[in-house]
Structure 1
Amino acid sequence: MLIAPPLYLLLDLAVVGRLGGHQLAALGVATLVLSVISTQLTFLSYGTTARSARRFGAGDRTGAVAEGVQASWIAVAVGMVLVAVMYPLAPIVMRVLVGTGSAEAGQVVDDAAGWLRIAMFGVPVILLSMAGNGWMRGVQDTRRPVLYVIAGLSVAAVLVVGLTHGVGPFPHLGLPGSAVANLIGQGITGVLFAVRVVREARRSGVQSLAPDRTVIRAQLVMARDLVLRSLSFQVCFLSAAAVAARFGVSAVAAHQVVLQLWEFMSLFLDSLAIAAQAMVGAALGGGAVGVAVAVARRVTVVSVVAAGLMAGVFALGAELIPRLFTSDQEILDAIAVPWWFFVAMLPIAGIVFALDGVLLGSGDAAFLRTATLVAALCGFLPLIWLSLAFDWGLAGIWTGLMVFMLLRLTAVAWRIRSGRWRRTGVDS
């Protein structure tokens, strides 16, 4: 299910790429900012899964569903605040990221800000979907979330083609049509999750649907660690986009296309680890340490094999796959630089994301926070800005991402071997 949104975004890039190079660059930067905004709240998904799974494993289904109710309240409240803050700031953010050194860059700024201002209204339902995914995975309900996401994205996929290019009965909106399609699709998915949490809460005997300060406070403790971890990712990726933009529109468009493929593969591998997260949480909640260790071992093997196979696919498709997104030869030439970094990092990612899932399932968020911050500050971020200072181009930026992944690999492998993540019982 996690790969459905990035698959849709790849379709979005391919559709918008036919409008022109600066529209593709604008979409790439705007979707990056939207991703940064929404993924800062990943604790609504990952943290809620860990907490719900432990309660479910301990036989407390009512408590597990109650975690979802409270996470949904956080999603709606924070989402509304983000819309109010980011709507007026969208043009300023885009000018900082892209710069205004040329007429073409100015057009990218205007288009990206316009797209973001429309799509921002979907943030509350994006966060609501994260919360829904979290508690439903925690109670081992994995089928419905897939259907909900597919329902919303299927509508969005039809609309993005129709509204962007004016196909059939749809008006020709150009790039804003992509944002409208995104907003409608996210809205459908979010409403489905909201209806489900209300129905399940009533069926499971949850005492009240009102906000519960005790539960919300406990969720926000884990949120602190996961938000800091996520923030370190996003500062790096925003910095990378800003530096890539200084190398030209073709460079930033190429960077964002390959980065979106990286995001797709990250979530593909996360989808393998997400089951482990729920199972590890449930096993530790019930005191079954041996089961948790076995799950960690199996998911790592499967993830590495899957990542290796996909690396082979992208290596063989190095000439063909980029042409699905653009026919602009300058962008295609620029894509060739980060492409092989992307391919080489996939087997590393197979291990890192699998073990991330295990540690998230165990509630070991504080360690992941520290490890990610160190990897970002000591590896990725310095190389991004050195690339600008010494004109290393996209090669320097993607070397930074490679170092970042290697440092994370070292950290999570050590943590798993140490055994310190094997804490049993239900978190307060």
Structure 2
Amino acid sequence: MTVPPRARDRARDREILRLAVPAFLALVSEPLFLLADAAIVGHLGTAPLAGLGIAAAVLQTVVGLCIFLAYGTTAGVARRLGAGDLRGALAQGVDGLWLAAGIGVVVTILGVLLADPVVHLFGASESVTDPAATYLRIAFLGTTPLLLMLAATGVLRGLQDTRTPLVVAVGGNALNVVLNLVLVYPAGMGIAGSALGSVLAQAASAAAFLVVVTRAARAHDASLRPDLPGIRAAGRAGVPLVVRTLTLRAALLLTTYVVTLAATGAREQEVDLATHQLAMTLWTFLAFVLDAIAIAAQALTGRALGAGDVTAVRETTRRMVRWGALSGVATGLLLAAASPVLGALFTGDGDVRDLLVPVLLVAALGQPVAGVVFVLDGVLIGAGDGGYLARAGLVTLVAYAPVALLCAAVSAGLVAVWVSFAAVFMGARLVVLVHRARGDAWLVTGR
């Protein structure tokens, strides 16, 4: 009996929502780590908030480069699940956890030692670099827990479980807010207390994830011991995604660097950096909202290709792109409507609040494009098409960098920098991803 097209679409929508809604709630909770820090630190003063902006850019770059621990694991585990190999799927997930632990130890040592020189590369004043370095040195102690959280989340998403990451994310975020409030103000630790609170919350969240994955592996006789060939294979598979993420993070770091250079005085630099930090934090928050459908795309695409069902991949991709575009319109309208009042939630500086409004309006206009970009990115990650994503990222960066640097050279201002980011950077990503999705080279089936 042939299933009517509308019935198939409704069934796919239900499956997308089954994965995307818990992923959406979990992903929204994740950037609240930084939103909570920004709200609490912002009331310490403009300079500490600007310092948090620099520290956050560095931390997001480091963790972002390791996002393959979640994305690559999701795709690999989902493929094995689709092929009917649950034990192999869990074994591959355990390999990802060991890889995360190894990378985390190295990054922690290097991050603590290099925090000061890295912060000074941004060229900000001492009133900004001192709190930035303080925050960064402590925050790097949470790198290993963060990477273990990424890898464990990838395992569970690959197994089509987005509810457990939601529970852990909500609990960890609530603990983070409580610890930040206590350590920053009653304990009198200032910005250092904010960093320490986040580290402790991340450690607790990582422990919860490890318990869940360990129990699942034991239940299906998957080994928990480190398997060096499996760990090396996970590392090799992640290289293209590292390159892809490196290009994305380079663009975001370049944007922060351009904001610093474009300012014409110490006061203007503080205001621009603080405003940029708030705007980028809100952009990241909305990116996580839109990325919920991309998470569903990774899991569903990997599983369907593992089962050899190309038709399902095409039809599900079509539905998810539609969902992504509509979600982008919705978040854009909400951001535009809230832009006049959001600044007061984070800072008492009137100049920062005034400048934030036009920047957020630019960000709101870019939301529909972002919705489609994130979905197609998730589809190609789920398909294991990391090589193309790496090449596409390089093309996008080459297109964006000259425009961004021109904004700095002519002191175009923060709003102009955000226009170039939303139009040139995100527009270039849209072009390269749509081009690939229309072809067939990424539709590789099997384990």
TM-score under structure 2 normalisation?
0.90
* CA distance in structure 2 between the partners assigned to 1:225 and 1:371 by the alignment: 11
Structure 2 match to 1:356: 377
Structure 2 match to 1:284: 305
* CA distance in structure 2 between the partners assigned to 1:87 and 1:14 by the alignment: 25
Answer whether contact 2:290 2:374 (CA < 8 A) is retained: yes
Aligned residues: percent identity?
A: 37
For 1:239-318, list aligned pairs within 5 A. Answer: 239-246=254-261, 247=263, 248-318=269-339
The Cα shift of 1:213 comes to: 2.6
* CA distance in structure 2 between the partners assigned to 1:243 and 1:339 by the alignment: 18
Answer whether contact 1:22 1:249 (CA < 8 A) is retained: yes
User: Which consecutive aligned stretches of 4+ in structure 1 deviate over 6 angstroms post-superposition?
Assistant: none
Among 204, 207, 211, the residue aligned to 2:220:
204
Structure 2 match to 1:185: 201
The Cα shift of 1:337 comes to: 4.0
Which runs of no fewer than 5 residues in structure 2 stay unpaired? 1-25, 264-268
* CA distance in structure 1 between the partners assigned to 2:363 and 2:286 by the alignment: 10
Structure 1 match to 2:426: 405
* CA distance in structure 2 between the partners assigned to 1:244 and 1:336 by the alignment: 17
Deviation per CA, 1:32-60: give whole Å up to 9, x if none: 21111111111100000000000001000
Structure 2 match to 1:151: 171
Give the residue type in structure 2 aligned to 1:250.
V
The Cα shift of 1:13 comes to: 0.8
Query: 3-state SS of the aligned residue for 1:68?
Result: helix
Answer whether contact 1:382 1:400 (CA < 8 A) is retained: no
Answer whether contact 1:383 1:399 (CA < 8 A) is retained: no
Query: 3-state SS of the aligned residue for 2:339?
Result: coil
Among 149, 168, 171, the residue aligned to 1:129:
149
Query: 3-state SS of the aligned residue for 1:418?
Result: coil
* CA distance in structure 2 between the partners assigned to 1:165 and 1:275 by the alignment: 40
The Cα shift of 1:187 comes to: 0.5
Deviation per CA, 1:207-252: give whole Å up to 9, x if none: x322223222222222111111111111222222122123111101
1:321 aligns with 2:337: no
Greater CA drift, 177-186 or 384-393: 384-393
Structure 1 match to 2:108: 83
Aligned residues: 415
| Aligned CA-pair RMSD | 1.3
Among 1, 6, 9, the residue aligned to 2:34:
9
Greater CA drift, 130-139 or 5-14: 5-14
Among 52, 55, 58, the residue aligned to 1:33:
58
The Cα shift of 1:254 comes to: 0.6
* CA distance in structure 2 between the partners assigned to 1:368 and 1:396 by the alignment: 27
1:341 aligns with 2:357: no
The Cα shift of 1:400 comes to: 2.9
Deviation per CA, 1:271-311: give whole Å up to 9, x if none: 12101210110011001111111211111111211111111
Query: 3-state SS of the aligned residue for 1:313?
Result: helix
Structure 2 match to 1:138: 158
Query: 3-state SS of the aligned residue for 2:122?
Result: helix
1:395 aligns with 2:420: no
Structure 2 match to 1:52: 77
1:24 aligns with 2:49: yes
The Cα shift of 1:120 comes to: 0.5
* CA distance in structure 2 between the partners assigned to 1:382 and 1:226 by the alignment: 24
Query: 3-state SS of the aligned residue for 1:90?
Result: helix
Among 89, 94, 112, the residue aligned to 2:132:
112
